[in-house]
Amino acid sequence: MKEIIKNIKGTKDILPNEVEIWQYVEDKIHLFFQKYGYHQIRTPKFENTSLFNRSIGLDTDIVNKEMYSWTDQGGNNLTLKPEVTASVVRSFIQHNLGKINSINKLYYIDSLFRRERPQKGRFRQFEQFGIEALGSNYPEIDAEVISMAYYLYDSFKIKSLKLKINSIGSKNTRLNYKKELKDYLINYKNDLSSISQNRLNSNPLRILDTKIDFEKEIIKDAPKIINYLDSDDKSHFDELLMLLDTMNIQYEIDHNLVRGLDYYTKTVFEIHSDILGSQAALCGGGRYDYLVEELGGDPTPAIGFAAGMERLILSLDAKKNDIFKKPFIYFITLGNGAIKASAKIINSLRIKQNLTVISNSLRKNLKAQMKEANKLNVSYVIILGDDEIKNNSAIIKDMDSGNQESVNLQNIDDFFKKLH
């Protein structure tokens, strides 16, 4: 017997019985973002490795451990996309989008790749959606982006949403704060993990993002970056909080929230919920006011957020029955004459009335087809056999009430028009 080839660890087949919820979520995301005037952008699945080295940061786990990179036959160093913002910025610069529109509001739904430890709701190939708003340095765009993230999850009826927010300041703020933070942490150098000891010199802010309990105790008394914001940074953050208050979006200022990518500036935020237990973060984002310039473009302020599709869908698992409409009609055909006559009726119901009609193409008996109709939980069954053909009629059964009636074949279209 030949060996069965299986999917690669950290990847997942989305089977037909699961695809429906994916389509529902994707459709809703498209409509939600478009309502705010955002336009979809699609970028390639792989890019030059240097793009991510320059944007994400050489000291990040993504670049050091998680990227799928290779050298192709032409000697080009390439990487499967581990995140989207860098690709969007590269496209923004390459196609001069900033000269076409003063502010570009973009969204995406994309497949990404990271070689990290697979766990619930987290895979090595994963789907991500998000937005990027490029062109404005004012806090009202921060408020818009944050409110979009919050209200998107609210529209899916995700409970116990919590917004965590912080400001990590501009370049000068962070330079001053890094020195103070390093001076504090150097006293605990021997108590830090090897990873944090390395970050102490390269990027001490990343230590604030630690997941290790004893390091969390150390940073409890560390200097808070909010106390080092310059006047512009503080004014920006205060105005943002005022706008969130006006929108009645509750928030918690988390002084240790820095996000995991080096390009963030000023506003950073995450949306949390306890619906997935310990994996509380549903999405996160922030400002990246220097990234466009660092990748070769004109200075352009920007902000965005990214969210995992798998985590959102996991959050909706319990709601599947409430979300989906059941298939509308199951068409049972019995005999060659019925098969021929049903083709025209089924086609009309599907094409002209846009109804979901399922038919059995295995020519099973009445009992077997009714069993399948019950399994699919349809609303109506149409039964057409040789006897019905002789009478130029079909039996239509309401599966909820159990009532059934004989309807002339020419009147079937009208019968269902009255129902929707």
Q: Is 47 helix (H, G, I), strand (E, B) or coil?
A: strand
For residue 405, give the CATH number of its domain. 3.40.50.800
DSSP string, 127-163: EEEEEEEES--SHHHHHHHHHHHHHHHHHTT--S-EE
Query: Are the C-beta atoms of 136 and 304 separated by less than 8 Å?
Result: no
For residue 88, give the CATH number of its domain. 3.30.930.10
In the DSSP assignment, the letter for residue 2 is P
Same domain, 269 and 375: no
Query: How many domains are there within the chain?
Result: 2
Same domain, 89 and 21: yes
Domain boundary among the residues 305, 320, 335 is at 320
- C-alpha to C-alpha distance for 353 and 359, rounded to whole angstroms: 16
Q: Which residues form the domain of 364?
A: 325-417
- C-alpha to C-alpha distance for 66 and 57, rounded to whole angstroms: 13
In the DSSP assignment, the letter for residue 62 is I
pLDDT in tens, 349-390: 998 888 989 988 888 999 999 999 998 889 999 999 988 999
pLDDT in tens, 310-361: 989 988 865 565 566 556 899 999 988 899 899 999 999 998 888 989 988 8
Same domain, 311 and 372: no
Same domain, 157 and 279: yes
Same domain, 349 and 298: no
What integer pLDDT is reported at residue 84 of this predicted model? 95
Domain boundary among the residues 320, 351, 372 is at 320
Mean pLDDT by 10 residues, the chain (420 residues): 90 88 94 96 96 77 81 95 95 97 97 85 89 97 96 91 94 87 88 84 81 86 90 96 96 86 87 77 94 95 95 77 69 91 91 88 90 91 92 93 94 86
